[in-house]
Amino acid sequence: MEKVLEVKDLRISFDTFAGKVNAIRGVSFELFKGETLAIVGESGSGKSVTTRSIMRLLSSNATIDSGEILFKGQDIVRKTEKQMQTIRGKEIAMIFQDPMTSLDPTMPIGKQVAESLIKHNKVSKQEGLTQALELLKLVGIPNAEKRLKNYPHQFSGGQRQRIVIAIALICYPEVLIADEPTTALDVTIQAQILELLKDLQEKISTSIIFITHDLGVVANVADRVAVMYGGRLVEVGTAEEIFYNPQHPYTWGLLGSMPTMEGTEDKLYAIPGSPPDLLDPPKGDAFYPRNEYALKIDAEQEPPYFEVSPTHKAATWLLAPQAPKVTPPAEIVRRWAIYEQRYKKTGGAN
Amino acid sequence: METISSKNLPQDIQNIPADAFQPLNTSTLEERERIAAPSLSFLQDSWRRLKKNKAAVVSMAFLAVIIFISIITIWVSPHNPTQQNVSYINLPPRIPGLDSVNGLNGKTMVAGQLVDKYAQANVPDNVNFYLGTDGLGRDVLSRLFMGTRISLLIAFIAAILDITIGVTYGLISGLFGGRIDTVMQRILEILSGIPNLVIMILMLTIFDPGILSIVLAMVITNWISMARIVRAQTLKLKDQEFVLAAQTLGESRLKIALKHILPNISSVIIVQMMFSIPSAIFFEAFLSFIGLGLRPPTASLGTLLNEGYKTFRFLPYLMWVPAATLSVVMICFNLLADGLRDAFDPKMKE
Amino acid sequence: MEAKKKVLLEVKGLKQYFNVGRKDEVKAVDDISFHIYEGETFGLVGESGSGKSTTGRSVIRLYDPTAGEIIFDGKDISKIRAKKDLQEFRREVQMIFQDPYASLNPRMKVNDIIAEGIDINKLANDEAQRTAKVNELLQVVGLDPSHGTRYPHEFSGGQRQRIGIARALAVDPRFIICDEPISALDVSIQAQVVNLLQDLQKNVGLTYLFIAHDLSMVKHISDRIGVMHSGKLLEMGSSEDVYSFGVHPYTESLLSAIPLPDPEYERNRKRIIYQAPAADNKERKLREITPEHYVYCSEDEVMIYRQKIEAKKAAAQESL
Residue range C18-43, pLDDT digits in tens: 988 888 899 999 999 999 999 999 99
List of chain C residues whose C-beta atoms are within 8 Å of the C-beta of residue A196 = none
CB contact under 8 A, C94 and B259: no
Higher pLDDT, B333 or B2: B333
Rounded to 5 degrees, φ, ψ at C227 are -105, 125
DSSP secondary structure of B271-283: HHHHHHHHHHHHH
Higher pLDDT, B37 or C133: C133
* pLDDT at residue B80, as a whole number: 83
- HEC string of A282-329? CCCCCCHHHCCCCEHHHHCCCCCEEEEECCEEECCHHHCCCCCCCCCC
In chain B, the residue whose alpha carbon lies closest to the alpha carbon of C179 is B241
List of chain A residues whose C-beta atoms are within 8 Å of the C-beta of residue B27 = 289
* pLDDT at residue C208, as a whole number: 97
Asked if C131 reaches chain A (Cβ–Cβ under 8 Å), the answer is no
Length of chain A: 350
Q: What's the half-sphere exposure (Cβ side, CA atoms, 13 Å) at B104?
A: 8
Rounded to whole angstroms, how far apart are CA atoms C241 and C235?
10
pLDDT at residue B30 is higher than 60: no
Which residue, C197, C219, C192, C218, is CA-closest to C207?
C197
Which residue, B38, C291, C87, B62, is CA-closest to A280?
B38
Which residue, B181, B185, B268, is CA-closest to B230?
B268
* Chain segment A32-90, per-residue pLDDT in tens: 999 999 999 988 889 999 999 999 999 889 999 999 999 988 999 999 999 999 999 89
Rounded to whole angstroms, how far apart are CA atoms C258 and C215?
8
Q: Residue A236: beta bridge partners?
A: A226, A313
- Which residues does chain C have with pLDDT short of 50? 1
**Site from A11, A15, A17, A30 to mutate, B interface, most B CB atoms within 10 angstroms:** A17
* pLDDT at residue C112, as a whole number: 95
Cβ proximity of C96 and C176 under 8 Å: yes
CB contact under 8 A, C263 and A243: yes
pLDDT at residue A174 is higher than 90: yes
CB contact under 8 A, C219 and A255: no
Which residue, A91, A77, A83, is CA-closest to A9?
A77
In degrees, rounded to 5, the angle at the alpha carbon of residue C271 between the alpha carbons of residues C267 and C272 is 155
List of chain C residues whose C-beta atoms are within 8 Å of the C-beta of residue B233 = none
Rounded to whole angstroms, how far apart are CA atoms A324 and B23?
9
Which residue, B275, B284, B270, is CA-closest to B326?
B284
* pLDDT at residue A153, as a whole number: 92
| pLDDT band per the 50, 70, 90 thresholds, residue A347 | low
CB contact under 8 A, C186 and A213: yes
Q: Residue A95: beta bridge partners?
A: A178
Burial class (CB in 10 A: 0-12, 13-18, 19+), C92: middle
Burial class (CB in 10 A: 0-12, 13-18, 19+), A137: middle
* Chain segment B266-314, per-residue pLDDT in tens: 989 999 888 888 888 888 888 888 777 787 778 888 888 888 888 888 8
Looking at the complex, report in whole angstroms how far the Cα of residue A86 sits from the nearest Cα belonging to chain C. 35
| pLDDT band per the 50, 70, 90 thresholds, residue B37 | low
Is residue A13 within a helix (H) or strand (E), and if so which, with residue range?
A: strand A3-16
Looking at the complex, report in whole angstroms how far the Cα of residue C224 sits from the nearest Cα belonging to chain B. 25
Which whole-number Å values give the CA distances from A206 to A37, A55, A91, A176, B222, in the listed order?
12, 16, 10, 7, 60
CB contact under 8 A, B21 and A322: yes
CB contact under 8 A, A216 and C266: yes
* pLDDT at residue A265, as a whole number: 66
Asked if C218 reaches chain A (Cβ–Cβ under 8 Å), the answer is no
* pLDDT at residue B35, as a whole number: 64
Which residue, C177, C86, C26, is CA-closest to B241?
C177
The share of chain A scoring above pLDDT 70, in percent, equals: 97
Low-confidence winner among A247-251, B105-109, B259-263 (lowest mean pLDDT): B105-109
CB contact under 8 A, B249 and C120: yes
Neighbours of A285 (CB within 10 A): 29
Rounded to the nearest 10 degrees, what angle do helices A125-138 and A109-121 cross at?
120
Neighbours of B33 (CB within 10 A): 20
List of chain A residues whose C-beta atoms are within 8 Å of the C-beta of residue B50 = none
CA B53 centroid distance within chain: 16
List of chain A residues whose C-beta atoms are within 8 Å of the C-beta of residue B11 = none
Looking at the complex, report in whole angstroms how far the Cα of residue C109 sits from the nearest Cα belonging to chain B. 9
DSSP secondary structure of chain C: -PSPPPEEEEEEEEEEEESTTSTT-EEEEEEEEEEEETT-EEEEE--TTSSHHHHHHHHTTSS--SEEEEEETTEE-SS---HHHHHHHHHHEEEE-S-TTTSS-TTS-HHHHHHHHHHHTT--SSHHHHHHHHHHHHHHTT--GGGGGS-GGGS-HHHHHHHHHHHHHTT--SEEEEESTTTTS-HHHHHHHHHHHHHHIIIII-EEEEEES-HHHHHHH-SEEEEEETTEEEEEEEHHHHHHH--SHHHHHHHHH---S-HHHHHH--PPPP-PPPP-S---EEEEEETTEEEEE-TTHHHHHHHHHHHHHHHHHHH-
pLDDT at residue B348 is higher than 50: no
* pLDDT at residue B115, as a whole number: 79
* pLDDT at residue C210, as a whole number: 97
* Chain segment A233-250, per-residue pLDDT in tens: 999 999 999 999 999 999
Is residue A8 within a helix (H) or strand (E), and if so which, with residue range?
A: strand A3-16
List of chain A residues whose C-beta atoms are within 8 Å of the C-beta of residue B5 = 306-307
CB contact under 8 A, A305 and B1: yes
Neighbours of B341 (CB within 10 A): 17
Is residue A225 within a helix (H) or strand (E), and if so which, with residue range?
A: strand A224-229
| pLDDT band per the 50, 70, 90 thresholds, residue B350 | very low
CB contact under 8 A, B33 and C104: no
Asked if C105 reaches chain B (Cβ–Cβ under 8 Å), the answer is yes
Is residue A24 within a helix (H) or strand (E), and if so which, with residue range?
A: strand A19-32
Rounded to 5 degrees, φ, ψ at B53 are -85, 105
Q: Is-cis flag, bond preceding B297, omega within 30? A: yes
- From the list C60, C144, C153, the residue facing B30 with the nearest CB is C144
List of chain B residues whose C-beta atoms are within 8 Å of the C-beta of residue A274 = 32-33
Q: Give the three-state DSSP class for B79.
A: coil
Residues sharing a CB contact under 8 Å with residue A340, sequence separation 6 or more, in sequence order: none
* pLDDT at residue B36, as a whole number: 59
CB contact under 8 A, A297 and B21: yes
Asked if A195 reaches chain C (Cβ–Cβ under 8 Å), the answer is yes
Q: Give the three-state DSSP class for B228.
A: helix
- From the list A219, A254, A259, the residue facing C262 with the nearest CB is A219
Asked if C154 reaches chain A (Cβ–Cβ under 8 Å), the answer is no
Burial class (CB in 10 A: 0-12, 13-18, 19+), C20: exposed
Is residue A229 within a helix (H) or strand (E), and if so which, with residue range?
A: strand A224-229
Rounded to whole angstroms, how far apart are CA atoms A41 and B158?
54
- From the list B20, B27, B37, the residue facing A18 with the nearest CB is B37
E strand intervals along B95-240 = 107-110, 113-116
Burial class (CB in 10 A: 0-12, 13-18, 19+), B198: exposed
In the chain, the amino acid numbered A242 is I
Looking at the complex, report in whole angstroms how far the Cα of residue B133 sits from the nearest Cα belonging to chain A. 52
Higher pLDDT, B169 or B76: B169
Looking at the complex, report in whole angstroms how far the Cα of residue B269 sits from the nearest Cα belonging to chain C. 15
In degrees, rounded to 5, the angle at the alpha carbon of residue A214 between the alpha carbons of residues A292 and C211 is 95
- From the list B6, B36, B350, the residue facing A280 with the nearest CB is B36
- Tell me the average pLDDT of chain A: 90
pLDDT at residue B346 is higher than 60: no
Between residues 123 and 152 of chain C, which touch chain B (CB distance below 8 Å)? 142-144, 147, 149-151
CB contact under 8 A, A219 and C254: no
Which residue, B136, B163, B166, B149, is CA-closest to B294?
B149
> What does DSSP assign to residue B164?
I
In degrees, rounded to 5, the angle at the alpha carbon of residue B267 between the alpha carbons of residues B262 and B271 is 125
Cβ proximity of C237 and C225 under 8 Å: yes
* Chain segment B109-123, per-residue pLDDT in tens: 777 777 788 888 887
List of chain A residues whose C-beta atoms are within 8 Å of the C-beta of residue B24 = 288, 294-296, 298-299
Higher pLDDT, B35 or A8: A8
Rounded to whole angstroms, how far apart are CA atoms C164 and C150?
14
Length of chain B: 350
* pLDDT at residue B31, as a whole number: 55
- Tell me the average pLDDT of chain B: 84
Rounded to the nearest 10 degrees, what angle do helices B317-344 and B262-289 cross at?
170
Neighbours of B31 (CB within 10 A): 12
Q: Give the three-state DSSP class for B338.
A: helix
CB contact under 8 A, B21 and A321: no
Rounded to whole angstroms, how far apart are CA atoms C58 and C14?
9
Rounded to 5 degrees, φ, ψ at B216 are -65, -40
Q: Residue C2 region, left (φ>0) first, then alpha (ψ -120 to 50), else beta?
A: beta
Which residue, A321, A345, A318, A338, is CA-closest to A251?
A318
List of chain A residues whose C-beta atoms are within 8 Å of the C-beta of residue C187 = 42, 213-215, 254, 257-258
Rounded to whole angstroms, how far apart are CA atoms C200 and B98?
82
- From the list B18, B19, B36, the residue facing A277 with the nearest CB is B36
* pLDDT at residue A349, as a whole number: 47
CB contact under 8 A, B263 and C107: yes
- Interface contacts A/C by beta carbons within 8 Å: 110
Q: Residue A232: beta bridge partners?
A: A229
Looking at the complex, report in whole angstroms how far the Cα of residue C46 sits from the nearest Cα belonging to chain A. 9
Chain B residues touching chain A at CB-CB below 8 Å: 1-6, 9, 13, 16, 18-24, 26-27, 31-38, 48, 350
Cβ proximity of C232 and C296 under 8 Å: yes
Q: Where are the alpha helices (DSSP H) in chain A?
A: 47-54, 81-87, 99-102, 109-121, 125-138, 144-147, 157-169, 187-204, 215-221, 239-244, 249-256, 330-339
Q: Give the three-state DSSP class for B339.
A: helix
Asked if A188 reaches chain C (Cβ–Cβ under 8 Å), the answer is yes
Looking at the complex, report in whole angstroms how far the Cα of residue C93 sits from the nearest Cα belonging to chain A. 25
Which residue, C141, C152, C114, C144, is CA-closest to C130?
C114
* Chain segment A76-107, per-residue pLDDT in tens: 999 999 999 999 989 999 999 888 888 999 99
- From the list B247, B248, B260, the residue facing C105 with the nearest CB is B260
